[in-house]
C-alpha cells in the first residue's frame, strides 16, 4: 500500500472550504512582538480554518488510545514506572499563554499514561487546574476527553474568545506528546492501534500542519511552532507497520520536537 503525503491527506479538508485563494504573506506581520489578532484573519482563511477544525474534530481523539481499555498492563509492568513523562510542577515556570496552552496537551496525555501505570495523578489534576486559572479559560478541565463534541465546543469557544491560535497550539502539543509516548514504548503501546487509527493519526498531523501554515502569517508563536514541527512532516503512515517503522526512524526528531514544544 502506498504511503500518503501531507498534502494528499489534507485534501479532503481543503475541499470543504468554500473559498480559495492565497493567504496573507507572513512578511506582512511587522515583527515578532506583534500580538495575535484574530480579527485580522481574512474571511477566506477563517473559513478554511473552520473547515479544517470540523474535519479534525470528527476524527477519533489521538489521546483516547490510553484510556479506551485497549492497553492492559500487568502488575509487573506497572512496577516499572515511565520516566519520560512531564513533571506536573514544571508548568509553574511557564509564563506565556502559548506555553500554558501547549502544556495542557502534554499534561492531558501524560495524565492518561500515568493512570495506566497506577501512578498518582493528583499532580496532573492540580497542574491542569493551574493552567485553567492562569489562562482564564473555564472550559479546561482535568477529565478532558477531547471527544469530537469536546473538540467542536472548544474550537467554538476559542473562536468566540479570539483564541483559535491557542486551540491549535494545544492540538499540536497533544499530537507531539502522543508521538513521543509511542516512540518511548512502541512494543507495548502500538499494538493498541490498528491501520485505521494509525492513518487517523497521520491525518491529524496533516490537518494540524494545514492550520498552522494558515495561522503562521498572523501569529509569530504559531510560525515558530510550525518550524519546530516541520521535521515531523515525513510521518505519513497509513498502517501500523508503517507507523512503527517511521517512529523508529524518526525517534530523534520526535524527541527534539517534544523538547522544544514548551520553550
Give the per-residue pLDDT at 149: 83
Task: Give percent of the chain above pLDDT 70.
Answer: 83
Question: Which of the listed ranges 32-41, 149-158, 159-168 does the model predict with the highest average pLDDT?
Answer: 159-168
Total-model pTM? 0.85
Nearest to 184 by CA among 116, 247, 109, 121: 247
Cα separation, 159 vs 66, in Å, equals 29
For the stretch 202-245, pLDDT in tens is: 999 999 999 999 999 999 999 999 999 999 888 999 999 999 99
Using CA atoms of 153, 204, 196, 6 in order, give the dihedral in degrees to the nearest 10.
150
- Kindly report, residue by residue over 60-102, the tens digit of the pLDDT: 876 667 777 788 899 999 999 999 999 999 988 898 999 999 9
Predicted confidence at residue 100, as pLDDT, reads 93
pLDDT of residue 23: 39
Considering only CA atoms, which of 127, 129, 226 is closest in space to residue 171?
226
Q: How confident is the model at residue 167 (pLDDT cuts 50, 70, 90)?
A: very high
Q: Are 211 and 155 in contact (CB under 8 A)?
A: no
Round the CA-based radius of gyration of the chain to a whole number and report it: 18
Q: What pLDDT was estimated at residue 11?
A: 45
pLDDT, mean over the chain: 84
Q: What is the pLDDT of residue 142?
A: 59
pLDDT at 70: 82
CB 58 within 8 A of CB 148: yes
- pLDDT bucket at 24, cuts 50 / 70 / 90: very low
pLDDT in tens, 248-261: 999 999 999 999 99
Amino acid at each position: 500500500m502506498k504511503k500518503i503525503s501531507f498534502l494528499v491527506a489534507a485534501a479532503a479538508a481543503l475541499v470543504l472550504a468554500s473559498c480559495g485563494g492565497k493567504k496573507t504573506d507572513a512578511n506582512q506581520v511587522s515583527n515578532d512582538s506583534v500580538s495575535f489578532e484574530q480579527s485580522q484573519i481574512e474571511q477566506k482563511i477563517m473559513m478554511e480554518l473552520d473547515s479544517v477544525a470540523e474535519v479534525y474534530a470528527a476524527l477519533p481523539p489521538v489521546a483516547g488510545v490510553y484510556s479506551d481499555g485497549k492497553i492492559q498492563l500487568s502488575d509487573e509492568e506497572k512496577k516499572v514506572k515511565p520516566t519520560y513523562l512531564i513533571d506536573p510542577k514544571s508548568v509553574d515556570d511557564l509564563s506565556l499563554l502559548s506555553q500554558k496552552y501547549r502544556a495542557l496537551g502534554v499534561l492531558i496525555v501524560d495524565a492518561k499514561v500515568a493512570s495506566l501505570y497506577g501512578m498518582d495523578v493528583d499532580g496532573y489534576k492540580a497542574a491542569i487546574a493551574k493552567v485553567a486559572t492562569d489562562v482564564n479559560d473555564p472550559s479546561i478541565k482535568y477529565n478532558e476527553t477531547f471527544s469530537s463534541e469536546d473538540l467542536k465546543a472548544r474550537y467554538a469557544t476559542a473562536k468566540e474568545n479570539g483564541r483559535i491560535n491557542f486551540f491549535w497550539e494545544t492540538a499540536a502539543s497533544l499530537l507531539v506528546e502522543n508521538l513521543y509516548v509511542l516512540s518511548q514504548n512502541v512494543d507495548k503501546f502500538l499494538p493498541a492501534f490498528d491501520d485505521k487509527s494509525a492513518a487517523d493519526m497521520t491525518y491529524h498531523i496533516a490537518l494540524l500542519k494545514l492550520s498552522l501554515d494558515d495561522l503562521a502569517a498572523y501569529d509569530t508563536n504559531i510560525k515558530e511552532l510550525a518550524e519546530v514541527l516541520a521535521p515531523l512532516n515525513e510521518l505519513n503512515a497509513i498502517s501500523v507497520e508503517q507507523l512503527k517503522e517511521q517512529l523508529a526512524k524518526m525517534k530523534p526528531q520526535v524527541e527534539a520536537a517534544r523538547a522544544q514544544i514548551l520553550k
